[in-house]
Amino acid sequence: MSTGIFFHYQQGERLRDFPQALNGILEKDNVFFYDALYLSKPRSSFDLEPIPLETIQKIHSPGMIDRVKATGNFEGVLYSAAGTMAAAAKVCSRELTNAFVFTGYGDHHAGSNFFGGGCYLNGAAIAIHELQEKFGAKRFAIIDTDAHHGNGTWELFENDPDVLYICFCSGSSREKNQNVNIHIPPKIRNSDYLALAKDAFQKWVKPFQPEIIFWNWGYDGTIGEYGDIGLSPDFHIQMTEEIKGLAQGICEGRLIVILCGGNKRNLARSLIPQMIKILADQ
Ligand SMILES: [Zn+2]
Ligand SMILES: [Zn+2]
């Protein structure tokens, strides 16, 4: 059992306490830290390279990539997607069992030719394409517990029988091929959400038998956050246990957690180290 942490130094408030907040975790023998090489920062033992343009073009249109470049966030965007791709490659090749990816820019609002809501590229989609092409892996599941609907991920996989996408959000429950939306009502209790998730995992993920699970994890549905649906911070810890157990049951624990929405620094500071500890627990 080994856990990778993929990190790049980001501007902004929410991850200001990292990587220092990982002290005590990074020292574990089965935890490996991969960070981006920035000239202004001390080097760690592993470097994370930005993602090549040709890899991105397999998922996103040239016009969209130009529009992303024009936002001024392109460097961070490349490192975010690179972290997800590197994590996926190491989990697929069994170098790591699971991984936590600190993205600066999320995934799920980025489609083939559109982006928004703080998402610029769809790192999970890019990684899945690479694993299918270069590693011969075939079947994947993406679980999305960010508070908002993953319109980009939905679009990219709605006609793909090899990728199961389960989105929990306020939108109505519906299914299309291997895309499933599960309605989460406002002010839901942790236990009710967890019960819905367990049912969905039994009904959809287990029979699908993915080789790797991606988890688009956002904490923006936590009380006081911008997508508040009434969840207390504990919810995320319980969900981590649940999804780790699910991965252990069906795909030898292979799981990639991608940080998505949420902006409170104190929540990131308290939740992320606890979650990585669970991932790394033997
Ligand atoms: Zn969100
Ligand atoms: Zn949704």
Q: How far is the CA of 167 from the centre of ligand 2 (A)?
A: 4
Cα distance between residue 122 and residue 105, in whole Å: 9
Sign of CA pseudo-dihedral 107, 112, 115, 121: positive
pLDDT(104) > 80: no
Nearest to 38 by CA among 85, 75, 65: 75
133, with CB counted inside 10 A (0-12, 13-18, 19+), is exposed
- Tell me which ligand sits closest to the C-alpha of residue 225: 1
pLDDT at 227: 96
Q: How far is the CA of 180 from the centre of ligand 2 (A)?
A: 8
Reported as a single tens digit per residue, the pLDDT across 30-49 is 999 888 655 555 555 456 67
Strand order from edge to edge, sheet including 31-36: 47-48, 31-36, 3-7, 98-101, 255-259, 212-217, 140-144, 163-169, 179-183, 174-176
Decide: helix, strand or coil at residue 154: helix
Q: Where are the alpha helices (DSSP H) in the chain?
A: 53-56, 62-69, 74-92, 123-134, 151-157, 190-200, 206-208, 234-250, 265-280
Q: Within 13 Å, how many C-alpha atoms sit on residue 161's CB side?
A: 0
Nearest to 167 by CA among 140, 192, 149, 155: 149
Q: Position 159: which residue type? A: N
pLDDT(273) > 80: yes
Q: How far is the CA of 258 from the centre of ligand 2 (A)?
A: 16
The model's pTM: 0.95
pLDDT at 253: 98
Ordered DSSP codes for 24-66: TTTTSTTEEEEEE--TTS---SSEEPPPPHHHHTTTS-HHHHH
Cα distance between residue 127 and residue 81, in whole Å: 8
More confident residue, 72 or 163: 163
Cα distance between residue 282 and residue 264, in whole Å: 30
Quote the tokens at residue 86: 């590197």
pLDDT at 45: 46
Q: How far is the CA of 219 from the centre of ligand 1 (A)?
A: 8
Percent of the chain with pLDDT over 70: 95
Cα distance between residue 230 and residue 101, in whole Å: 25
Mean pLDDT of the chain: 93
pLDDT(51) > 90: no
Q: How far is the CA of 32 from the centre of ligand 2 (A)?
A: 32
Cα distance between residue 11 and residue 16, in whole Å: 8
- Tell me which ligand sits closest to the C-alpha of residue 146: 1
- Tell me which ligand sits closest to the C-alpha of residue 218: 1
Reported as a single tens digit per residue, the pLDDT across 184-227 is 999 999 999 999 999 999 999 999 999 999 999 999 999 999 99
Reported as a single tens digit per residue, the pLDDT across 137-162 is 999 999 999 999 999 999 999 999 99
Cβ pair 144, 221 in contact under 8 A: no
pLDDT at 41: 52
Reported as a single tens digit per residue, the pLDDT across 115-139 is 999 999 999 999 999 999 999 999 9
